Amino acid sequence: LPQLTMVNCYIFAVLMQLGIFLVFGKPQVPCYFIFGDSLVDSGNNNELVTTAKANYQPYGVDFPQGVTGRFTNGRTMADMIGELSDLDEFIPTHATVTDQQISKGVNYASGGAGILPETGRHLGGRISLERQLNNHKEIVSQLSRLQENTTFTNEHLSKCLYIVNTGSNDYINNYLRPNFYKTSHMYTPYQYASILVRQYSLQLKRLYNLGARKIVVFGLAPIGCTPAEIHYFGTSGNKCVESINEAVNQFNDKLKPLIDDINHDNEDAKFTFINVTHISSLQKVVPWPNVPCCEVMVDGQCAHKTTTCPIRILSIYYDGFHPTEFSHNVIATSAYIALSPMNASPYDIRHLVQL
């Protein structure tokens, strides 16, 4: 049965990729706010002094507007969740959003950012989750001023959809970089996961206190299966770097109980957890190789104007770290319609937006 549901997920994602389900109706939510890292960044890093940016070819080769700063060949999972929720346009970045647009949502995500403020500092500029929340606080205040009605603003925000997808860089660009950061010398994987989840708890509760109620929190993918980490660390004969996946699982194992606790402690909170590691087990059903679709530089990102694999729907990874549009699609569709109860808990997004 688990394999059957994953095959169904694969078929559903293929149909989504072909646009079969993209028939827009009335938006299911009035607004949509996006927090996180390069997995959902749509261009906030473009003007920052940082190596963590994707505003050049071959990124965006399959995106309608071309190069935008998305770290993939096309749409991200955040884009697709918006489409599945019947939103008729992509959510603008915080760097470019106008007063006329903020009532429909903002994308705050930033490549290289993490739960800990120091994560990714060796890359240059990035907007940590804490700073993203500061930006959201300013947007909420701005929305209240424009509406001149705090009650309306609070009611509006409580109906919106929020997604938070972060934590990968706290491993990739912190714990797994001992030459730049001390964390792996100071903490065991269990201790580090505890520190991350403790900080994340405060940040998610802060988002709740800023008016969010329908909040989708993504767990971490098996980072040890990314082409870059396989190249850096080797696999000792395994398909992935199992020690990294085990460390990441320590974080995921603590994150779902945190979501349950927040829901229990706040009657009107509707947090849900997306089990990306379980969704990623599709790789066991359709065993694609863990290789990048583009020629990569030392940092794992695509080399400028390099050629890419011709059939990108057959690749899991676009560069050394980031999924292809197709892989984003698998995650987005599995989060929106959970064909297995292991994928989303306590709700999938389809049911969450109806609450």
Instruction: Give the strand order in the sheet containing 270-274.
Output: 32-36, 161-165, 214-218, 270-274, 344-345
Q: Which of 146, 57, 40, 149 is nearest to 94 (CA)?
A: 40
Distance CA 185, CA 43 (A): 34
Verify whether residue 128 is a known catalytic residue.
Answer: no
Output the six-digit token pair for 119. Answer: 């994560």
b vs e for 15-40, b when ≥16 Cβ sit within 10 Å of the residue's Cβ? ebbeeeeeeeeebbbbbbbbbbbbbb
From 319, 327, 334, 348, active-site residue:
319
- Tell me how far CA of residue 191 lies from CA of 118, 198, 247, 327, 354, in angstroms: 17, 11, 10, 31, 38
Alpha carbon 319 to its chain centroid, in Å, reads 16
322 in active site:
yes
Q: Which of 322, 334, 340, 348 is catalytic?
A: 322
Residue 36: closest CA among 331, 338, 343, 346: 331
Catalytic site includes residue 156? no
- Local structure of residue 56 (DSSP, 8 states): S
Among 38, 144, 280, 327, the active-site one is 38
- What does 141-184 look like in DSSP terms, one character per residue? HHHHHHHT-HHHHHHHHHTSEEEEE--SHHIIIIIT-TTT-SHH
Q: Residue 261 corresponds to which tokens in the numbers above?
A: 């606790």
Q: Is residue 156 a contact partner of residue 139, using CB atoms and an 8 Å limit?
A: no
Residue 33 CA to residue 14 CA, distance in Å, equals 26
Residue for token digits 């929340």? 133
- Catalytically active residues, by annotation: 38, 319, 322
